[in-house]
Amino acid sequence: MKRLWAPWRMQYILDENKNKTCLFCDISKADKKNDRKNLILYRGKHSFIVLNKYPYNSGHLMVLPYIHTPTFDGLSDEVLFDLIMNVKMSVAVLKKVLNPDGFNLGLNFGKVAGAGMESHMHKHIVPRWTGDTDSMPILSETRVMPEHITATYNKLSKAFRK
């Protein structure tokens, strides 16, 4: 039997509000003094950048519009431009700070497409390094995270403030 201990997940599992409101709207509207707690790295005019709390790899970011929408529908060209410029900035910061060998960029619309938060669209930016997956996901269905999320946040937040 395989066991992977992830005790930080219990907070999410037991959160009574997780299905009542939109997590992304909640953190975007929260006081800016809570940005570190909410893992918000940057606030733009129409979109913001957040470190994924349950990442696929170290440095996994998401760029989200402030507007609550499941798809591009209803987003103005100005909002879409801000969103893509924040994706561009995220890639540049990740290159500078974490020096990855490449990236996976993803956008899932709808639950069947893999959207875990299907009601609020978000663009994933996942840095990748040669050999980062090794054989762990294949052999033991386990991901290896080489750095604690707060250490990654500290590195990236300095770069986004510049």
Region 11-26: what's the mean pLDDT?
A: 73
Domains and CATH numbers, the chain: 22-161 (3.30.428.10)
What is the rounded distance in angstroms from the CA atom of residue 62 to the CA atom of residue 78? 19
Question: Burial of 123 by CB count in 10 Å (0-12 exposed, 13-18 middle, 19+ buried)?
Answer: buried
Alpha helices in the chain (DSSP H): 9-14, 23-29, 77-98, 136-140, 149-161
Residue 25, pLDDT score:
94
Residue 152, pLDDT score:
84
Confidence check: pLDDT of 154 > 60? yes
pLDDT digits (tens, 9 = 90+) for 110-136: 777 666 778 889 999 999 988 776 544
Residues contacting 90, CB < 8 A, separation 6+: 49, 61, 63, 125
How far apart, in Å, are the Cα atoms of 40 and each of 35, 93, 107, 162? 5, 14, 19, 15
pLDDT digits (tens, 9 = 90+) for 26-85: 999 999 999 999 999 999 999 999 999 888 889 999 999 999 999 998 899 999 999 999
Q: Residue 31: helix, strand or coil by DSSP?
A: coil
Q: What are phi and psi of 57, to 5 degrees?
A: -160, 160
pTM equals: 0.77
Instruction: Name the range with the highest mean pLDDT among 96-105, 125-134, 145-154.
Output: 96-105
Residue 94: band (very low, low, confident or very high) from pLDDT cuts 50, 70, 90: very high
Residue 55, pLDDT score:
85
What is the rounded distance in angstroms from the CA atom of residue 104 to the CA atom of residue 93? 15
**Residue 155 neighbours by CB distance under 10 Å:** 16
